[in-house]
Structures are given as structure tokens and as C-alpha cells.
Amino acid sequence: MTDVQKPVIVLVRPQLGENIGKAARAMLNFGLTEMRLVAPRDGWPNPSAGPAAAGADVVLEYAEVFETLAEAVADCANVYATTVRKRGVTKPVVTPEEAAREVHTASGRSAYVFGPERSGLETEDVALARAILTVPINPEFASLNLAQAVILCAYEWSKGAIGSGQLAQPTQEDLLPPAPQEELEGLIGHFEQLLEPKNYFWPETRAAANRLTLRNLLTKPGWNHLEVRTLRGVLSALGNTRRPRD
């Protein structure tokens, strides 16, 4: 399951199985499958992770466990420590978008490292990284949960993978072509037929301008034949003065 283009997601001393599962779900949404766990507090596997993963079982199944962060990123040439604070360590600071661009062009494996839910990465953890990955955030409430942090990084990485065959935009329905002019003329005529007895085109000096404005209004949207048919049905209903039968 190794893909040098895809970053590894490393969770350092994660505390809750539910959060590991939610992180796995966030990963798989954007095509990332390789998770590494460093000294998970409640051991591994964790029965709480599966339900929270909501189907991202392949991520949990292949998750690897390491005793130290150094071991978890030993094969990675590009390591990003995610933190909202520099913690006294002088390193390049990048956003998720900048990190994603680097990952897509870098040689060697890359890893995004996330700290424990309550306290985040320790200074010793950050010291192992090549760069600090952080996001602009409200300084009065700089609190992202683990899955949110993972999904930010995974999403930014995914934008560079669209079109490569690894990810794709959700399928969109094909739009119907615009209705032929004949059908539009029928719609315009139908409107005029109902508006004429209501004196819409009065006074006569404004009739031509009003008809032209109406035509421009009805031809601008590019109605397809189903939409034209629906509008004709609405007009027929409005023009029907007979009361419905009980």
C-alpha cells in the first residue's frame, strides 16, 4: 500500500480510539491510507476506532505501531510537525497548502505528524521534523481536534491529486441542452396570449418595448425542453378558469 506520492499520517501518543477512527475516516476521504501510531495510550488495536472510522477499515487494518516517533518516520525524508505554536524550535513554518505542494514534488517519503489530543506535540517531537506545519487560526481559540487537523492537511494534499486518477470530483449529472427556438417561441407566445387580455402591453406606445423585454427575459436562462414544458404547464394552469372537480 506504499505510495511515495502520498504522505504518511503519524499520530503521536493518541489518547482515544474514537479519534484514531475519525482521523482514519478523514484520511480515506482524500485518498490517504497509511497511518502510523506512536505509543497509543490505550494500545492497539482499539475497539472504539472501528465504529468511528465509518467504513475506513482499510486504514485501520494496515496501521502500524511504533514505540517512538523517530522509528515511525525513519524512512521519511520530509517530516512536517503540525502545531499551532513553534515551541521555541527554529524551523521553516508552512501552511497545509504549502506543505502539500512540497510533498507532491519532493523526493522521498513525506509524513505529517500530529500530537496527542490534549497537549499536542512536545518540543522533542517537533525537533525531529524538517518543518512546522500550522494554519492561521483564531488566537483566542486555537483548538482543532485531531480529525479536523488531519482533514485540513489531507484536503490540501488531495487538490494536487485530482486529475491524476487517484481522486476525482463527484460525478455530475449531464445538463440537458437548451430547448430549440421553436419551443421558446411557443413559450413566449403562451405568455403573450395570457398577458394580452390583462392589458399587460398597454399603453400601445410601450407594447413593442414590453414585448422585447419579455422575450429577452425568457430567452436569457437557456431553458431546456423539460423546463419549457414545465413553464407551459404552469401557464396553462394559471389560464384555466374552471374549478377543479371535487
CA diameter of the chain: 88
Co-location of 107 and 33 in the same domain? yes
Alpha-carbon gap, residue 135 to 137, rounded angstroms: 6
The answer to whether the CB of 225 falls within 8 A of the CB of 183 is yes
Co-location of 96 and 208 in the same domain? no
The answer to whether the CB of 58 falls within 8 A of the CB of 28 is yes
Of 159, 193, 227, which residue is a domain's last?
159
Answer yes or no: is 173 within a domain. Answer: no
Domain extent for 231: 181-239
Q: How far apart are the first and last CA of the chain?
A: 67
pTM for the complete prediction?
Answer: 0.69
Express each pLDDT in 120-160 by its tens digit. 899 899 999 999 999 888 878 877 889 999 999 999 999 88
Answer yes or no: is 1 within a domain. Answer: no
Express each pLDDT in 187-243 by its tens digit. 999 999 999 998 888 888 989 999 999 999 999 888 899 999 999 999 998 888 766
Co-location of 28 and 119 in the same domain? yes
Co-location of 29 and 76 in the same domain? yes
Co-location of 12 and 127 in the same domain? yes
Answer yes or no: is 245 within a domain. Answer: no
